[in-house]
Structure 1
Amino acid sequence: MNLRTLKKLSKRAAPLLPLLGDRRKQFRAERDGNYIGGLLIMDRKHWERGRSVHGERVRQFEIKWPARDGGGWIWMVPPDYARKGTMMVGATSGYFEPEWDEECTWSALENLVRCHFTDWHPDHEGTPKLLRPLGTAREILRAARDMAAELAVLA
């Protein structure tokens, strides 16, 4: 997935979240200001690049190789921030020291759907069993619509 696809999927996921009971504040991401929230973007086109004189890895998923001119190292890391305009959800949590927690709407929807359609019974030899296929974005969106329809009937 790349950042452009994430932005489009987040736009499609945003109206489904309130129907599934997610009451967090929805907003659009600002440029380099909103954390993606545990989502790993593997399309290297969007990775941040730079140069360093140090050879040790500093960040998770960082890739380093020696510079051709012999002047240090070239590094690449996946992006931590969503594209400007990506739909996000966020809320404060905590009592004594409340903190702001945010993630993109696609990640929030995917987590809700995967938790709902997973059988966590201990008889599955430690591996939870999916109750329906959720391998593609289309299947996740279809499952979310089915969940919303079930909740609408119950209400």
Structure 2
Amino acid sequence: MNLRILKKLSKRAAPYLAALGDRREQFRAEQGENYHGLIIRDRTDWERSWCHPSHHIGWHREGEMYCVEARKGYRYMVRMPSHPLKGTIMVGAMEGYYEPEWDEETAYGALRTIVIDRFTCWEAIFAEDDRPCMTRDLSTVSKLFAAADEMVAYSRRQAA
């Protein structure tokens, strides 16, 4: 997934959140101000900066940055982006009791969490497997949105 796809999926996921009862504030991301908290593997979106020649080539800081040697001996650092594109739909709220802090994520990340939590069998943790199992295949984005459609339809039937 790249940042452009994340922006489109967040726009698509925003109406589902309201229908599923997520009452957090929805807003558009500002350039460099918000954090998405997801892993973006598409290297075309990775942030690049120059690297000092004394840095050795390889991963730094537990996989956050990677020093690469380009043509003519120049070195530069690449790292996964932590900021979404400007205009990406985000959800956020103040969370905490004694010292509340602002917590935010993309609308797609929030919907993904809700759907995966709904279709996870937590009783398997106490069995011999010692890890939760999925009760439904959510391996692709289309399957995730199909499950969200069913969840919204079910909640509307229960409300009527």
TM-score (norm 1): 0.91
2:27 paired residue number:
27
In the alignment, does 2:99 pair up with 1:97? yes
In the alignment, does 2:48 pair up with 1:49? yes
Percent of aligned pairs with the same amino acid: 46
Cα distance in 2, alignment partners of residues 124 and 25 from structure 1 = 41
In the alignment, does 2:132 pair up with 1:133? no
Among 53, 61, 64, the alignment partner of 2:64 is 61
Find the residue that maps to 1:64 and give its secondary structure. Answer: strand
- Unaligned runs of at least 5 residues, structure 2: none
| Cα drift, residue 36 of structure 1 | 0.5
Find the residue that maps to 1:15 and give its secondary structure. Answer: helix
Cα distance in 2, alignment partners of residues 145 and 45 from structure 1 = 32
Cα distance in 1, alignment partners of residues 145 and 156 from structure 2 = 16
Cα distance in 2, alignment partners of residues 138 and 149 from structure 1 = 17
TM-score (norm 2): 0.88
- Unaligned runs of at least 5 residues, structure 1: none
Q: Tell me which amino acid in the other structure corresponds to 1:46.
A: D
| Cα drift, residue 106 of structure 1 | 0.3
Find the residue that maps to 2:114 and give its secondary structure. Answer: helix
| Cα drift, residue 68 of structure 1 | 4.9
Q: Tell whether the 8 Å contact from 2:68 to 2:78 is kept in structure 1 after alignment.
A: no
Q: Tell whether the 8 Å contact from 1:59 to 1:77 is kept in structure 2 after alignment.
A: no
Cα distance in 1, alignment partners of residues 70 and 13 from structure 2 = 42
Q: Per-residue CA shift, 1:63-82, capped at 9, x if unaligned?
A: 113455556x4110010000
